[in-house]
Structure 1
């Protein structure tokens, strides 16, 4: 099933953080978590996306432009979720397990740590010729499938 990207963003934003010093997720960190959620979903669910929006390669890493703009009022501060905990969307059991694992691993990174990680990976580095280059779902699927070998 394909979800609304804002619903996925809000699901990320209500998760308890495990990284040191983080109280709320910043826009920069949210963008990278959306990227990893999408990438691993594409790899595990035969190229089917978690959400339809394109991801672009920006200077500081992958970005979903509509979500960047939506949360831009927070600048570099932590984002307050748009929903209450009981209003968060439900995923299928397999998607929920994937969501939790991706958040457990990548949610522990700082925004800067995630930026550095994405810069070292092929999907961003292969298209990062300037602000706004699209990281295609095909490129993401191929790359993230290699993470399971």
Structure 2
């Protein structure tokens, strides 16, 4: 899996604070700021994002956003830059001001499996396995 990160550093924003916002969620991302104040980054780890989603108890919302963003072998979503600076995951609709994140499944990987790993299904606030959901819906496993 490859994670691509992109955001514009606005004239009113401090470049170092924008870098900190990205690093708060993607700790080991390789980050560059281009001449036109576009910050780009790349990583192969979603560990911190997964931890934050669980700690904030937003698995269902995260899964919905990630599933909605699926296209072919990737999923795309936007994170609120100010929330990220504060160490909080907040999915954003502002595609122009937020942190654009694209998670790309590499050869042999399944984007839906990656999404399930990031934000698994829950019942009553607890993570459940896919098999348990199928059994509850009267789809006995063979």
Normalized against structure 2, the TM-score is what?
Answer: 0.29
Q: Which has the higher helix share?
A: 1
Q: Which has the higher strand share?
A: 2
Normalized against structure 1, the TM-score is what?
Answer: 0.28
Bigger Rg over Cα = 2
